[in-house]
Amino acid sequence: MADHISTEKPVEKSNSGEKSVEKFSVSGEKSMISDEKPVGVNRFALQCAIVASIVSIIFGYDTGVMSGAMVFIEEDLKTNEVQIEVLTGILNLCALVGSLLAGRTADKIGRRYTIVLASILFMLGSILMGWGPNYPVLLTGRCTAGLGVGFALMVAPVYSAEIATASHRGLLASLPHLCISIGILTGYLVNYFFSKLPMHIGWRLMLGIAAIPSLVLAFGILKMPESPRWLIMQGRLGEGKKILNLVSNSPEEAEIRFQEIKAAAGIDPKCEDEVVKMGEKKTHGEGVWKEIILRPTPAVRRVLLTALGIHFFQHATGIEAVLLYGPKIFKKAGITAKDKLFLVTIGVGIMKTTFIFTATFLLDKVGRRKLLLTSVGGMVCALTSLGFGLTMAQNSGGKLVWALVLSIVSAYSFVAFFSVGLGPITWVYSSEVWPLKLRAQGASLGVAVNRCMNASVSMSFLSLSHAITTGGAFFMFAGVAAVAWNFFFFLLPETKGKSLEEIEALFQRDGDNKVRVENDKA
């Protein structure tokens, strides 16, 4: 990516004996970076990220449980395949709307209350789906829950990234995706056990019980602090600094972060006031869309391309097809009994959760870029193998045992490679590359693209399978994954270990500051 020009000079040791370095970016901004080895993750910051990520468990549960519920909905409500595609995909279309609203909402009322709003929408949607006397009511419940998904997918990674230190931001910002996987696995398990209930009760319980954790989260998140970066953007410096002291590993680190955030927010570094009056446009995100879409600087344009690109490829490579239509895919491979279909699908959830859990510890050690390229390279191989296995299984009428085994192993491998890289890194990377002022609404735009692609795959996969066969669909996804690998190789720089304010400088080149000044005058 763009070269980042910086100069370094040592400064005097602090009272603690710690040696620091001043870095001056091409924009002339200064940051203090400690040479001290990274210490353990801050427990309070970890607790905050875990609570905020619970909203992702609820979304993941909805995704996982729908893969089994649709089997019974199709029988109970006498729906056809097109209605099932609409029912599964409408959640993501509504999530697209929710994500576009979420950015401005998070800038206006804060990250914490936006999570509360997402929880309430989830709860209402779950109640409607659990009632579900007919298809229109069920569809309305999915739409309501979809709005909550849009809010949750935008705000949870942003909140986690904004409270985390640079050395552990990969771990904390990947927690929402880990929680999605835990939710998906929980949904698969519920499918298996609730499938033994009477049909008209089983699927309604599957969908309705998500209202309980939604209600618990709505109250639990109120005990968590607001994002310190959001508070400082509002001019509430005293509150922001107190929270930074809680989520940092030392007072010195908190002070460094405080000064960097003040500089990014355009506040005088010498200002010691508890509260500073900020302009309306700075605090509530007015004018941000103009800076992102209409008149972006070259640096913002690069951020926009990478952030939207990684969200596009996350779902264009076909992960939703396996997660949502797993039972139907394995049925094509030769498994016919419902209980065995659900058991094999549980394996998908176990692989996803296990490898995302592994990824949370690798992100800050291996780095985003290496892990991403390895992940997508493995996905290309696994998708090609899955396409071949399914093609042979379908051509033989499901009688080739080796083709069935190859299909299952390939599907598991695909989920594993996705989960160790592209899955969690999408949310980590897209929440950390945006400048502070643009972060909430920039992240919401990324989620909108993400949900749009998710909806496209989930609403077209069955029709696509009829048109080019199920195996052909996965050959197509393999081709998309190959394009994705090249996109990431040439356009995504490494962000491991850098503060959010330093990452902003990664995308800047000589002359960008001049363009930014001209845009500000315009």
**Type and span of the H or E element at 282:** helix 280-284
Q: Which of 68, 71, 326, 333 lies closest to 189 in space, CA to CA?
A: 68
Distance CA 133, CA 163 (A): 43
Q: Tell me: the pLDDT tens digits for 442-483? A: 888 888 898 899 889 988 999 999 999 999 999 999 999 999
d(CA 220, CA 204) in angstroms, rounded, equals: 26
pLDDT, residue 442, reads 86
Q: Of 314, 331, 318, nearest to 473 (Cα)?
A: 318
C-beta of residue 351 within 8 angstroms of C-beta of residue 156: no
> For residue 280, is pLDDT > 80?
no
Q: In sequence order, which residues have a C-beta less than 8 Å from that of residue 199 and are 6 or more positions away?
A: 72, 75, 76
Q: Which residues contact 359 (CB under 8 A, 6 or more apart)?
A: 174, 178, 371, 419, 420, 421, 423, 424, 425
Instruction: Determine the Cα–Cα distance for residues 27 and 100; give it in Å rounded to an integer.
Output: 30
292 DSSP 8-state letter: I
39 pLDDT band, cuts 50/70/90, is low
Angle among Cα 232, 235, 237 to the nearest 5 degrees reads 55
Mean predicted lDDT score pLDDT of the chain: 83
**Which DSSP category does 279 fall into?**
-
Domain edges within the chain: 41-275, 297-512
Q: Strand, helix or coil at 9?
A: strand
Q: What is the sign, positive or negative, of the torsion defined by CA atoms of 128, 129, 130, 132?
A: positive
What percentage of the chain exceeds 70 in pLDDT?
88
322 and 188 Cβ atoms separated by less than 8 Å: no
The pLDDT tens digits of the residues spanning 367-402 come to 899 999 999 999 999 999 999 999 999 898 878 999
Q: What is the pLDDT of residue 285?
A: 54
Q: Are strands 7-10 and 20-24 parallel, antiparallel or unpaired?
A: antiparallel
Rounded to an integer, what distance in angstroms lies between the CA atom of residue 407 and that of residue 335? 11
Helix (H, G, I), strand (E, B) or coil at 509: coil
pLDDT band at 16 (very low <50, low <70, confident <90, very high): very low
pLDDT on residue 431: 79
Q: What is the DSSP string of 420-472?
A: HTHHHHHHHHHHHSS-GGGHHHHHHHHHHHHHHHHHHHHTTHHHHHHHH-HHH
Strands 20-24 and 30-34: antiparallel
Find, among 367, 363, 395, the residue nearest to 471 by Cα: 395
Q: Where are the alpha helices (DSSP H) in 164-267?
A: 169-194, 199-208, 211-220, 228-233, 237-247, 251-264
Q: How many CB atoms are closer than 10 A to CB 343?
A: 15
Six-digit token pair at 462?
């069955």
Please count the CA atoms within 13 angstroms of the CA of 136 that sit on its side-chain side.
0
Which one, of 63, 72, 115, lies nearest residue 91 by Cα? 63
What is d(CA 394, CA 333) in angstroms, rounded to the nearest whole number?
A: 7
Give the pLDDT score at 322: 94
Q: Render pLDDT for 220-240 as a digit per residue (tens, 0 to 9).
A: 888 889 999 899 988 889 999
* Residue 348, helix vs strand vs coil: helix
Place of tokens 């009688």: 399
Domain 41-275 annotated CATH 1.20.1250.20: yes
**Is 417's pLDDT higher than 70?**
yes
Say how many C-beta atoms besides its own lie within 10 A of residue 238's C-beta. Answer: 14
Mean local confidence (pLDDT), 341-365:
91
Q: Do 41-275 and 297-512 agree at the fold level?
A: yes
Residue range 313-350, pLDDT digits in tens = 999 999 999 998 988 899 989 888 888 888 999 999 99
The strand order across the sheet containing 20-24 reads 7-10, 20-24, 30-34
Inform me whether the pLDDT recorded for 8 exceeds 60: no
Q: Which residue has the tokens 């209350």?
A: 113
> Distance between CA atoms of 25 and 20, rounded to whole angstroms?
16
| Residue (of 489, 360, 492, 344) closest to 411 by Cα position | 344
What is the mean pLDDT of the segment spanning 302-318?
94
Is residue 255 predicted with pLDDT exceeding 50?
yes
CATH 1.20.1250.20 matches 297-512 = yes
What gap in Å lies between CA 516 and CA 522, rounded to an integer?
Answer: 10
Helix, coil or strand: residue 8: strand
Taking each helix axis from N to C end, the angle separating 135-163 and 43-76, rounded to the nearest 10 degrees, works out to: 160
Q: Are 381 and 317 in contact (CB under 8 A)?
A: no
517 φ/ψ angles, rounded to the nearest 5 degrees: -65, -40
